Amino acid sequence: MAQQFEGKSAVAVNVKRFSLALFLALFFVCASWGADGSKPHSQGAARPAPNPLRTAHFGDLHVHTSYSLDAYAFGNRNDPRMAYRFGRGETIALPGGAENHLKAPLDFMAVTDHDVWLGELSLCQDPEDPAYKTTACQTLRSSTEDPEKGMRGMWGLAAQMMKNPAGRSSEVCGSAEADENNKCFQRAQSVWQQIQKNADEFYEPGKFTTFAGYEWSAGFKRVGMLHRNVIFRGGQVPQAVYSAVDLNNSPERLWKWLEQACTGDCQVISIPHNTNFGWGIALASNNSDGTPFTTEGLARRAKTEPVIELFQIKGNSECSPGLGTNDEQCNFEQLFKPCKPGEDAFCAVASNYARNALKTGLVLEDQFGVNPFKYGFIGSTDTHSSAPGATEEGNWPGATSLGDHRPQTRLNHSVGPEFPVKAVLNNPGGLAGVWAEENTRESIFDALKRRESFATSGTRIRVRFFGGWNYQSDLHRRRDLVETAYRGGVPMGGDLPAKPSQVKAPHFVAWATKDPDSANLQKIQIVKGWAEGGETYEKVYDVVCSDGLKPDSKTQRCADNGATVNLTDCSYSNNKGAPELSASWTDPDFRPGDRTFYYVRVLENPTCRWSTYDAHRANVALPDDVPPAIQERAWSSPIWFTPLPSDFKKPR
């Protein structure tokens, strides 16, 4: 009996212990969940070991949420926490109510809400502040039910600022002066603290990296953009944000302020984007106010801006047909045609495109000893729907919240009279890729800083590019390709060392693999630009073709591989192209006296454009003003060659 009794007592005790343990476990699990039901971080999860040969990570560094005035005016009420949840792979309800999620989570991201209206928007939502009852704020808040009315409220606030680009809305801010005593400036600083907390909350080293950042949204005439996404490496950041308004819409003042405010353990980069909206100023050969460059200013710019956003929803900023190039692949997701005489906005200017800037940078380096346009490449979305990384052509939720959340509105929508661009010309945007040792703030930021980054038009193509002087001709076939390439040369974003006297030309190796959820690869190209006697030139070489094809010796182009896309159901060729392509290549036209850069462009087989998918859903005819199919692509960052002074030659 005693034994039986002791057994029952032991069971009872164990049950109580188990119940207590279960209660405590549930308590701590529930306590770690966010107030909005977000999943907890991976507390104590094993962190992957760093890879010294580096791994590809995909991210989005251009994301707008309900903290951005325009996104709020579009009807977006999903805050940064919702955007981070979406980015790490959770299903969330996007504006309009439809649930959506990514096929694969992002590895890293930053929410980059517009700096210029952080304070205004916060005050408009604060019932305790007098601004809440102003006409502009009431109209803005109505965007939940009436996006068009909300947009009028947004343009109303914007119009007040456009009349005085260096001032604020006196109606909302209590003063038109842009200084530290302005109520909107003060409120923006509390929002900046929350932005940092949001990023820190969702950071999971080794799994999901988040950066504190914002969009510095400098504007000028007719919605021109000199915008930058400002990204901080870690937790050390300035206590206050000086917006584009506070810095008089001057990028030069931004770089100087960052240099002064971000010191010690603070590290920062500024990423220019939408240079295609730069109206000739974004990448011009002088300062944004038209004054001449100085060596000091160029050095500050080069230090702060190592990468440029090459591709996003508002178009392709690589190159534009007829503007310094005859490259047929530059006619890809272009919003604007070249400016006609008398036009100065909503048209294309040569100095707004990255390839031309890369060439200009070679000449400027010869003049000033500094290359301010030594850019690596990334892509991102610029979503205003809190949906980072949502770049699937066949499952695009739109980019302007309630403004284009349905197929019909995406095909016919226009943002407004101040922004006369049809939504059908937009695209789902791109992704940023980096090669980093591990998925952490430090490793990914450092990859961006050294320009070991690449851009894609939305699919997850992986691309590597190395340059050296003594690579073997079969390096692209070797199992130790990456290790050997690092040991004997430089990766994308790097500078070739001095040319050995016995070597005639640099050797390059390019490698790419397809996105598992997209079409096969068609070819790899190398784009070359060089400066000679103060003039610049470029040439595009197809270096490897799929399906056993060879580049033509005269045109340097691959023949079409016969891949097709069925526009009735958007199926595409699976028996053409290659899942992986690689090549070793030596520049046949190399001149040791020319400053030169090279970068890789990888093309997929054709697939349906998002507008074709939407036309099927809406049961309408395909739009006439956009191509029904596209070729998704990726761009590596460049590799540069700078001759020794003794090698510089006069023009031919």
The rounded distance, in Å, linking the Cα atoms of 525 and 515 is 18
- Name the burial class of residue 181, with classes exposed (0-12), middle (13-18) and buried (19+) by CB atoms within 10 angstroms of its CB: exposed
**Confidence band for 622, pLDDT divided at 50, 70 and 90:** confident
Average pLDDT of the chain to the nearest whole number: 90
**Confidence band for 143, pLDDT divided at 50, 70 and 90:** low
- The token duo for 37 is 């039901």
Taking alpha carbons only, the member of 510, 493, 501, 435 closest to residue 469 is: 501
Judge whether 549 and 556 are in contact, CB under 8 Å: no
Most confident listed range (128-142, 217-231, 525-539): 525-539
The rounded distance, in Å, linking the Cα atoms of 461 and 100 is 22
Residue 225 has a pLDDT of 92
Q: Which of 2-16, 93-107, 475-489, 522-536 has the lowest mean pLDDT?
A: 2-16
Q: Which of 18-27, 73-82, 214-223, 258-267 has the lowest mean pLDDT?
A: 18-27
The rounded distance, in Å, linking the Cα atoms of 305 and 411 is 35
Averaged pLDDT for residues 540-560: 96
Buried b (16+ CB within 10 A) or exposed e, 415-442: bbeeeebebbbbbbbbbbbbbbbbbbbe
Q: Which residue has better confidence, 645 or 567?
A: 567
Q: Which of 129-133, 136-140, 499-503, 609-613 has the lowest mean pLDDT?
A: 136-140
Beta carbons within 10 angstroms of residue 340's beta carbon: 7
Which helix H or strand E contains 167, and what residues bound it? none
Averaged pLDDT for residues 146-154: 62
* Location of structure tokens 């808040």: 141
- The token duo for 370 is 């500094």
Q: Which long-range contacts (CB under 8 A, 24 or more apart) does 240-244 make?
A: 240/180, 240/189, 240/192, 241/115, 241/118, 241/188, 241/189, 241/192, 241/214, 243/115, 243/116, 243/118, 243/185, 243/188, 243/216, 243/217, 244/115, 244/116, 244/216, 244/217, 244/218, 244/219
Judge whether 589 and 650 are in contact, CB under 8 Å: no
The rounded distance, in Å, linking the Cα atoms of 463 and 320 is 23
% of the chain exceeding 70 in pLDDT: 88
**Confidence band for 82, pLDDT divided at 50, 70 and 90:** very high
The rounded distance, in Å, linking the Cα atoms of 509 and 617 is 43
Against a cut of 0.85, is the pTM above it? Answer: yes
Could you read off the pLDDT of 107-131 as tens digits, one per residue? 999 999 999 999 999 999 999 999 9
Contacts of 364 (CB under 8 A, 6+ apart): 285, 293, 298, 370, 371, 372, 373
Could you read off the pLDDT of 367-419 as tens digits, one per residue? 999 999 999 999 999 999 999 999 999 999 999 988 889 999 899 877 655 67
Residue 183 has a pLDDT of 95
* Location of structure tokens 């190395």: 466
Asked if pLDDT for residue 103 goes beyond 90, the answer is yes
**Confidence band for 8, pLDDT divided at 50, 70 and 90:** very low
Residue 9 has a pLDDT of 36
Asked if pLDDT for residue 14 goes beyond 50, the answer is no
Q: Which residue has better confidence, 434 or 160?
A: 434
Q: Which of 146-155, 298-307, 638-647 has the lowest mean pLDDT?
A: 146-155
The rounded distance, in Å, linking the Cα atoms of 466 and 460 is 20
Per this entry, what is the length of the chain?
Answer: 652
